[in-house]
Structures are given as C-alpha cells and as structure tokens.
Structure 1
Amino acid sequence: MIDKNSPLPIYYQIQEMIRKKIESSEWEPGDMLPSERIFAEDFDISRMTVRQAVTELANEGLLRREKGKGTFVTEPKIEQTLQGLTSFTEDMKDRGLKPGSDLIQYSVLTPSKPVADTLQMNDTKQIHEIKRIRLADEVPMAFETTSINSDIVGELPEDIENHSIYYILEKEKGLKIGNGEQTFESSLARKEEADFLGIREGDPILLIRRITYLDDGTPFEYVKSAYRGDRYRFTIKMPR
C-alpha cells in the first residue's frame, strides 16, 4: 500500500512495490504491468509519479517498455563472478543453464596486424578465427570473435560450435592454460551485433577483450565479446 504521510517519496514507494512483486514472482518475466492510468487511479496519484517509478526500474533493467504495447517484466540477468579464468560453457553450467553456440563463421586466415601483435606472432602465420553467438538456454547472450594461434593449437574440429575450446586444448591436446587478462568497456550495439543478439542498434552492451596465455606465458588466444547489457552482469570479489 501507498502511505502518503510517509517521508518516503510516492514514486519510491511505487517502485519498491513493483520490485517486491517481481522478486516474489507474483509478476514473472514477460508479464505486462498495469498501465500508468490504472496505477494512477488505483492509488490516487499522478501519472507522472507512476512514470518516474517505472522509468527508474526500466533503467535498472527490471522492466522494459515496448512502444504501443506496454511495460513488461524482463528476464533476470545472468551474473558472473570474476574470480578466475573460466570458459563461457563452464560459467553457464555452473549456473544450471544449458550453454550453446550458433556458429556464424569459422576460418583459418592471416591475422590483421593488431591481432598478430596481440598474439606476438608473425602476421604471415595463420589463426583460427571463430565468430559465434553464445547462448544460455537457447537465448543469445554474447556475440564473440575468437582468434587463436594455429601454430600453437594445431587443427580444431569443424563442428567447433559444439565444443568448449578450452576443453579441447586442455583435455585433448594436452596444453596447460595459465591465465588471462580482460578489459571491460561499455558501448552501444552496432547493427551486426544487434542483429545477432536480438536487440536494437544502439542498445547498451558490454565489450570484453581477453588475451589468454599458456602456463609458460605464451599468448595463444584473443577474444572480443559483445555481451547484452540487459541480460548479463559481472560481479568482482575484492578481498582485503
């Protein structure tokens, strides 16, 4: 209920009421909220107050607005804790989700100079370049371009979309992966990324670039990933 005598702003009370309904699963992902007019009439408040509450929850990613349709509860974000080097497949399995990939392109080619420099290899050598959409329970989560030094890893299976690359390298090829370096950058989806991820061009995404090293310090993999900003969240544990 809304308490108009409370020191808490009315919009905040509406916001918390909606949040509790979502957290308690009274309103589930995909459910449409009552209209601003109905909210305003039910609680005898202005539509502007309702709009402020809904806008803040939409900015948090709990709600989404569809023009001409209404406001809906979003799917919960997948949370990944950054505390070690793991693959996408391992991360999804740890969360009880079914990992998957849609292969867009797999080529063996000469790398661009920036990629060759990153992998500390001669740009006359070749790399495996794998472009794929990473899925969790069949839902697109990230558009990923992976470049791997072919001199180090040798051949990879043609149906690479059905495999974890790290599993192949460690279990089948006997390589020992040491560590990785990742950088994070907020960005807006370009048309290619938006089309593959099922979002709109200009929607927020998180760009992640990773260089992965063998245990002897040799870089062998460079990955650039565009993660959906509305479905993915990273948490960093920071012990003191």
Structure 2
Amino acid sequence: MIDKSSPLPIYYQIEEQIKQQIVSGILEPGDMLRSEREYAEYYQVSRMTVRQAINNLVALGLIYKKKGSGTFVQEQKIEQALHGLTSFTEDMKTRGLEPSSHLIDFKIVPASQGIATELKIKEHTPVYEIKRIRLGDDVPIAIETNIIPANLVLGLTEEIVINSLYNYIENKLHLRIGNATQIIESATANKTEAELLEIEKQSPILLIERKTYLTDGTPLEIVKSSYRGDRYKFMININRT
C-alpha cells in the first residue's frame, strides 16, 4: 500500500509500485493492468492521481494504452547498436528472435533522375523496388523499401528477398558490402503505416533512410524504413575527442 504521510507524491508511489511489478516480472509483457477505477479503489485515491502515475509509465515506455481494450505492459524494445552495419535478419538473430518478412511489392522500374543520381547510374536504368514488412517472432517491427540497381545485383527473386538479401549479395554474388550513411528522424504513423505495423494511427515511429556502399565505393542500395517506436531503439557509444 501507499504511505499518505510520506513526502513522496502519492502518484509517484503508485508509479514506483507498478514499475517494480514490471521489473520483477510479476507483470509480464502483454499483461493487462487494472483499470484506473480499480487502482483508485485499491489505493483509496482519486482517479486523477492514478492517471498521472499511468501516464508517467506510458511516457517511460513501460506500458501502453490500447483504445477500447485497456492498458498493457510493453514488450522490451529491440536495441540496435549504431557502430556496425548489420542486416535486419542479423539484428533479430543476435537478440534471439526469429526474423521473417512479408513481401508487399517486388518489381523492376526505371530509375528516376533523383534515384539515378543517388545510385550513380544513368536515368531510366532498371532498379529493383522491394517493399517488405520485417518481423521479429511474427511481430511487425518495420516497413522497409529497398531500391537496388538491377544490373549490379543480378538474379533477385521474390523468394530471395523474403529471406536475407545481404546473405544473397555477399555469399552468392560475392559482392563485398563496405559501409553506409544513415539518417534517423522521428515521426508519427500515417494510416497505411499504422495498419501494416499493427499500431494506432499517430503512434511514434522512427524514419530511417540509409544508403549502402560496396567496399569499392559503388552505391548498392537506398533503404527507406519506418520502425515502430515502441519496439525499436538505437544505441551508440560516443568517445570524447
């Protein structure tokens, strides 16, 4: 129970008790919390006090609200380190998750002027345009669109891109992937993104645009991704120079 004589705010005491239940495993990912009314009755406080505690836990990413259903314990976010270039498949396997993909679109189209400039190819040169939903343990994590020169990466098929694209490029075509530049920005999910990622519209997402190069400097791909903000986070080690 809470100590109403304590100098600590009541909402903070409630917040800490629920947090401890999550950290200790009493409340597990996916478990539904009590309603605000039930917590208010249990602690003998106002619903407004409970709401403040719940909102703080939502802000911390420990729980989430699902409209019309209730409040649930959040799954642990998948952390990707930014000090190395890895594929989605490699990221998932490193964390003990089973990677998979759902192919939305796979086609060859002529490169627009902008795409041609970025990939250092001639305008109208054929490029693959591949759009996939990337999943970890069957949970949608990201929507990913790859644009790849068709004359550089030969023989791509739908079956190949459903699995690991980098594995095919490196082990079948023997192309050496070198480095990439990556831009990350925050956004909110539009209707299509929300449906594909199975989240609420306007939920936070991470927009990531990456350009990948072979070791000889040849542009390999442009990747545009929308990651679920509630399931993914990035980590980087920074040294003072």
TM-score (norm 2): 0.94
> Shift in Å at residue 200 of structure 1?
2.4
Alignment partners' CA distance in 2, 1:213 and 1:141:
24
Tell me the SS of whatever aligns to 2:152. Answer: helix
Residue 113 (structure 1) shift: 2.5
> Who is 1:174 aligned against?
174
Alpha-carbon shift at residue 239 of structure 1 (Å): 2.9
Quote the residue 1:216 is aligned against. Answer: 216
Distance 1:42 1:201, change over 3 A: closer
Q: 1:49 to 1:109 in 2, by over 3 A?
A: same
Tell me the residue number matched to 2:206. 206
Equivalent pair of 2:112/2:124 in contact (CA under 8 Å):
no
Cα displacement (A) at 1:42: 2.1
Q: Distance in 2 between matches of 1:233 and 1:170?
A: 27
Match of 1:227 in 2: 227
What SS does structure 1 have at the residue aligned with 2:19?
helix
Matched residue SS, 1:102: strand
Q: Which residue in the other structure is 2:133 paired with?
A: 133
Structure 2 regions of 5+ residues with no counterpart? none
The 5 A counterparts of 1:74-89 are: 74-89=74-89
Q: Pairwise mapping of residues 117-156 of structure 1 onto structure 2 (< 5 A)? A: 117-156=117-156
Cα 1:129–1:68 change in 2 (3 A) is: closer
One-letter amino acid of the counterpart of residue 149, structure 2: N
Q: Which moved further from structure 2: 4-13 or 132-141?
A: 4-13
Distance 1:68 1:171, change over 3 A: closer
User: 1:51 — aligned with what?
Assistant: 51
**DSSP-derived class of the 1:169 partner:** helix
Secondary structure class of the residue paired with 1:159: helix
Task: Give the deviation of 1:187 after TM superposition.
Answer: 0.8
Deviation at 1:25, TM superposition (A): 1.2
Change (3 A) 1:109 1:86: same
Task: Compute the displacement of 1:128 (Å).
Answer: 0.9
- Structure 1: gaps spanning 5 or more residues: none
Task: Indicate how the Cα distance of structure 1 residues 84 and 40 shifts in structure 2: closer, same or farther if over 3 A, else same.
Answer: same
Give SS of 2:156's match: coil
Letter in 2 for 1:45: V
- C-alpha contact 2:188 2:202 (8 A) present in aligned 1: yes
3-state DSSP of counterpart to 1:130: strand
Aligned length: 240
CA deviation after TM superposition for structure 1 residue 154, in Å: 1.7
In 2, Cα distance between the equivalents of 1:38 and 1:97? 35
Change (3 A) 1:41 1:234: same
Greater displacement, 92-101 / 36-45? 36-45
- Supply the AA of the counterpart residue of 1:209: E
Aligned counterparts of 1:165 and 1:111: Cα–Cα separation in 2? 20
Conservation of the 8 A alpha-carbon contact between 2:31 and 2:72: yes
Q: Which residue of 2 aligns with 1:11?
A: 11
Percent of pairs with identical residues: 55
Tell me, what secondary structure is at the counterpart of 2:120? Answer: coil
Letter of the 1:224 counterpart: K
CA contact (8 A) 1:2 1:13 kept: yes
Return the offset for 1:67: 3.3
Does the CA contact (< 8 Å) of 2:99 and 2:134 recur in 1? yes
Query: Displacement of 1:8 after TM fit?
Result: 2.3
- Counterpart CA distance in 2 for 1:48 and 1:5 is 19
Which secondary structure state, in structure 2, belongs to the residue aligned with residue 42 of structure 1? Answer: helix
Contact map agreement 1:102 1:161 (CA 8 A) in 2? no
